[in-house]
Chain A
Amino acid sequence: MSFQPVKFYQTGTFTVGNRLLAPDERSVQASEMRSNSINSGHRACQGCGEALGARYAIDAAMAESNGQLIAANATGCLEVFSTPYPESSWQVPWIHSLFGNAPAVATGIAAAMKVKGRHDVRVVAQGGDGGTTDIGFGCLSGMFERNDDVLYICYDNEAYMNTGVQRSSATPPTARTATTMPVGPEPGNVFGQGKNVPEIAMAHNIPYVATATVADLRDLEYKVRKAVNIRGARYIHLFVPCPLGWGSASHDTIRLARLAKETGMFPVFEAEHGEVTSVLKIRRQVPIEEYLKPQKRFAHLFGKHAHPELVARLQAIADRHIRKYGLLEEGDN
């Protein structure tokens, strides 16, 4: 297991907190003292997974670094909804430079901290999937390759949401976006080879790579805390549903993240120096339809002009993840 779950306390470690747990077993989010790195009043949409994921992640990093944290941010929703003049939501030192350079800016900050002997200060860079897997990819790879002392967190909502839901290299096959419309014989996004940035990060042999979702808070906090304590380049790919871009209900954000993991569509694992060291097992496996149906971006796969063959191909992707990462408990299969 990636982290040591509390086996049984009514809810174990599934809930955010639990009055029955010892203080050191509680999540950062359960604490009244959590830093609320992103303050109330931000302009994210209702039910925004990215706003939630960013607070989860940065609060955990703040807790682990004793508040000694600096964040660099790529352009994107997270930047726009958090810092429109004259108000900022951030309660950590934070800089936004450009869409494609957050990893490099963070490298610069880390270099400055090193040269000033501030070894206690930890540096986080963050961006959406567009800023990470597409336009910022060169800087990201450079940061990895140099093994700069930066924790990069990608908030993956699988398209360019800030600009109006266009396809990114993280958009899943068949998904409707403004640039992959559900028309023609193969509606929605194409079945490409995909750009699996966590695996590409692993190919850099950096000390730490992990995936996580907003539905598995304890796992996420464990990974962020672990990552904060490692020196060198670290990458966390955090799955954050987007109600606006996915056409899902605002209250379904966490549920969809959970279904992405439980279907096998989004494998949750961690890797050290290029090798997978743990996976978060599927707890209650469900077919891919349960994940797809609540999302309007997949609506063309169902209903009157259904595409069961495309659903089957998506299921095959999930099944491949399950095999590849061993996502089912021993004997489940």
Chain B
Amino acid sequence: MPNKPFAITLKPGTSLANLTGTWRTERPVYLDRLPPCNNACPAGENIQGWLFHAESGDYEQAWRVLIADNPFPAIMGRVCYHPCEGACNRGQLDSAVGINSVERFLGDEAIKRGWKFDKPGTQSGKRVLVVGAGPSGLSAAYHLARLGHSVEIHDAGPLSGGMMRFGIPKYRLPREVLDAEVVRILELGITLKLNTKVANIEDSMRAGNFDAAFLAVGAHIGKRAYIPAGDAARIVDAVSVLRSMEGEDKPMLGRRVVVYGGGNTAIDVARTAKRLGATETIIVYRRTREKMPAHDFEVEEALQEGIMIKWLSTIKHAGEHNLTLEKMALDDKGFPQPTGEFETMEADSLVLALGQDVDLSLLEGVSGLEIKDGVVQVGSNMMTGHQGIFAGGDMVPSERTVTVGVGHGKKAARYIDAWLRGTAYEPAAKHEPADFKQLNTWYYSDAPKTMRPMLDAIRRQTSFDEVQGGLNETNALFEARRCLSCGNCFECDNCYGVCPDNAVIKLGPGKRFLFNYDYCKGCGMCVAECPCGAIKMVAEEI
């Protein structure tokens, strides 16, 4: 610009020579924080991660991120009690994101579209025996197979799925969904041997030349409480009832069925009895609704279907057509105490839903094991006291849910893999948590949760059709987009936009952003205006 007037006329954009980054005392840095949903997921799913892809309508990619941790999205979307939603930060804003319903949508979409798992890569040459084709065993088998190991599953039962088939009624989990997701796992090249009870684990391992074993036999033995009963009294346990639902001969429970217990199994069996034709189904529980371990939504659904619940009552005696109940009262600590008041209730059958025990016979004679409270103790690496034998699911100390079992399977698979390779598995350090207070919720659209359709209550009393419907593509997308993406950049461009110094470099779709510290003055606006708390200020080193 030699001919322009000196000094008063300047070349455009030349302020780049002035590096204002030197003004800074604090610098912004991008980080990923741990979203509460991910943190709460027993299966260790990267929920925020798969919702991210669902948000853009890339359901297959969402599904692929999901199945990296959990091979059962369609099942999870039906039976998981979704602690993720309880932890969801959006719950503090309006209502939690319907993570479970989106998961189900993805699972169903995968079945509908026939999406398959990627075939495992390099084979390790190691063989792993998985005992039990329930959620935990299948999960472990799936992950082990993907890690390149040869896996064989032995299950004592006639069909795969374990408690997913023999414990969860089909109105909650249609069997074609279960079958589809199990078959897809087996297609990885896993051998499943049904009706193959492992009598002794060490023998089976030796016989099959296995290098390691993962035991997940579940807890299938219904607990019996001692109830004085007449000879003609019909008393059955809940797991047997639910198991027999899968066979040719449906259980005969009569017209008036009493279920004893307060857990989810009690609810399941009561609702099953109703569907089998019982005119009256009554749950007897010794405490109150507030104290009931069953999930409230399941209690609610049961009540909608006409199930009755007798609170604060224990069963003292069972006769042929009636039961004697004692009324209870809660003491100061919330424990039920007998009152000495009795009443009689008519009943054709009594179903005990008082919890389940584990059949540990396969471990007899195995050295180094520790059995406590009827379950096998495992270390943080899911290995029992016996080298090479790992265990998970309901047979180890834990909350007995499908999702926890699936999580055990994944975790065990990683440690088994390391053990087989003679290395140590070091789980990645957890990111710092993404709290609600780090979010700038102004930036999210107001959007109430999408409710899933429910089957009409009358039909629910007579049919085993699935009670809860799924979302369609439109509302699944809507629900996915309710995700706040806590602690993880979702490329909203806010930092790029709000920087008064143009000191944020946009790297393009999927590549996020970089700070240009040559010009960043450290005002902190990007941090304050980041919706999801994915930037923080750190002091400059002097």
Contacts and interface: CB of A to CB of B under 8 A. Distances in A.
A and B touch in the complex (CB under 8 A): yes
Interface of A: 7-12, 14-20, 26-27, 29-30, 32, 36, 38-44, 46-49, 51-52, 55, 82-83, 85-94, 217, 243, 249-255, 258, 284
A89 B15 contact: yes
A107 to B, nearest CB: 21
Interface stretch (B170-178, B193-201, B242-250, B522-530): B522-530
Name the 10 nearest CB pairs between A and B, nearest first: A17-B493, A16-B497, A251-B524, A41-B15, A47-B523, A46-B523, A15-B492, A12-B445, A88-B10, A29-B497
Contacts of B493: 15-18, 26-27, 29-30
B443 A86 contact: no
Interface in B270-300: none
A285 to B, nearest CB: 13
Interface in B469-495: 478, 481-483, 485, 490-494
A74 B483 CA distance: 45
Interface in B376-394: none
17 contacts: A9-B481, A10-B485, A11-B443, A11-B445, A11-B531, A15-B493, A15-B494, A16-B494, A17-B493, A20-B55, A40-B503, A43-B20, A46-B521, A47-B500, A51-B500, A85-B8, A88-B10
Given A16-B498, A19-B509, A40-B502, A88 B490 contact: no
A284 B7 CA distance: 49
Contacts of A48: 500
A47 B500 CA distance: 6
Nearest to B480: A10
B344 interface: no
Interface in B501-542: 501-503, 506, 508-509, 516, 518-519, 521-525, 527-529, 531
A14 B503 contact: no
Chain A CB within 10 Å — which of B14, B524, B525 has the most?
B525
A18 B11 CA distance: 34
Nearest to B51: A10
B17 interface: yes
A91 B490 CA distance: 30
Given A55-B502, A86-B7, A19 B491 contact: yes
B501 A11 contact: no
Contacts of A20: 55-56, 481
B528 to A, nearest CB: 4
Contacts of A36: 502
Contacts of A14: 442-445
Interface of B: 7-8, 10-20, 23, 55-56, 442-445, 447, 478, 481-483, 485, 490-494, 496-503, 506, 508-509, 516, 518-519, 521-525, 527-529, 531
Contact of B13 (A11, A47, A88, A93): A88
Contacts of A27: 493, 497
A8 B445 contact: yes
Given A44-B500, A47-B523, A52-B498, A10 B528 contact: no
Nearest to A85: B7
Given A10-B490, A14-B443, A39 B497 contact: no
A331 to B, nearest CB: 15
A18 B20 CA distance: 29
Given A20-B56, A251-B527, A86 B497 contact: no
A187 B16 CA distance: 43
A14 to B, nearest CB: 4
A83 B9 CA distance: 9
Nearest to B24: A46
B445 A40 contact: no
A40 B55 contact: no
Nearest to B16: A41
A70 to B, nearest CB: 12
B20 A253 contact: no
A55 B501 CA distance: 9
A42 B17 CA distance: 10
Most A CB contacts (10 A, CB to CB) among B443, B445, B481, B497 go to B497
Nearest to B497: A16
Contacts of A85: 7-8, 10
Q: By CB atoms of chain A within 10 A, which of B15, B18, B443 has the most? A: B15
Contact of A88 (B14, B492, B508): B14
Contacts of A254: 498, 525, 528-529
A287 B452 CA distance: 38
A47 B506 contact: no
A243 to B, nearest CB: 8
B11 to A, nearest CB: 7
A42 B492 contact: no
A265 to B, nearest CB: 17
B529 to A, nearest CB: 5
Residue of B12, B13, B23, B483 with most partner-chain A CB within 10 A? B13
B497 A17 contact: yes
A109 B18 CA distance: 30
Given A20-B481, A251-B527, A251-B528, A10 B494 contact: no
B195 to A, nearest CB: 50
A28 B20 CA distance: 24
